[in-house]
Amino acid sequence: MLLPVAVAVIAIVQLICVLALVDQYRGLLQIRESLGLVDSPQPLALPALTATPSPSAVGLPEQLDHEDRTIVAFLSTKCMTCRTIGRNLHGRVPSNMWVVVEGPTETACSRWLGEIGLSSQRISMEDMNDGVASRLELTVFPSALVFDRGSLALAQTLPSFRQLSELLFSPVSSAATPTQEKEHRHVR
């Protein structure tokens, strides 16, 4: 008779603990939302673009014009989130992705790639004052452009590696296009 009572008490205590954890999780989500720490990507406006150009039209390698779907990630040598994204690629860039590393010099970009352990395949290194990002008037790092069959389909921020992974393995969303939203802040 004592055993069923003990089991019931333990079950009630466990239920109370689970409910307390759920409450703490909800509170944490509210705090993250109010501080702007939720890693939801935001669409980017690229004022320099009036149409949906091909990758080579914006200064990227011509081979990207012929790929079905390509994600071009723009990373900066001065950005900690960019460093985290680069490290999470584990040394190599996926075949449906291209990385543009922006830094003060090409030497700084090479050093940065060495520090995060990323090979230089499918990577373009450029000066922050004269590269694809500056020609596009792209001021948010990390960010991504998605080209679908040689045309720009999407421009968005990359707040985390998780968001990059979702972008790599999901179809292009037609909900956000590069000219719909205006976003001009530099995340570093």
User: Is the pLDDT reported for residue 37 higher than 90?
Assistant: no
User: Any idea which residue has 């990207």 for tokens?
Assistant: 64
Helix (H, G, I), strand (E, B) or coil at 39: coil
Contacts for 177 with CB less than 8 Å, ≥ 6 apart: 43, 52, 153, 154, 155
pTM: 0.73
Measured at the CA of 111, the angle between CA 106 and CA 115, to 5 degrees, comes to: 145
Strand 69-76 relative to strand 97-103, pairing: parallel
CATH code of the region 56-168: 3.40.30.10
Give 42's contacts (C-beta < 8 A, 6+ positions apart): 156, 157, 181, 183
For the stretch 122-155, pLDDT in tens is 888 887 777 888 888 888 899 999 988 888 888 8
Q: Please provide the average confidence, as pLDDT, over all residues in the chain.
A: 84
Name the band, by pLDDT with cuts 50, 70 and 90, for residue 183: very low
In the chain, domain spans: 1-38, 56-168
The pLDDT value recorded for residue 73 is: 95
Residue 114: pLDDT over 70: yes
∠ CA 68-137-172, rounded to 5°: 25
Interval 43-51 mean pLDDT: 77
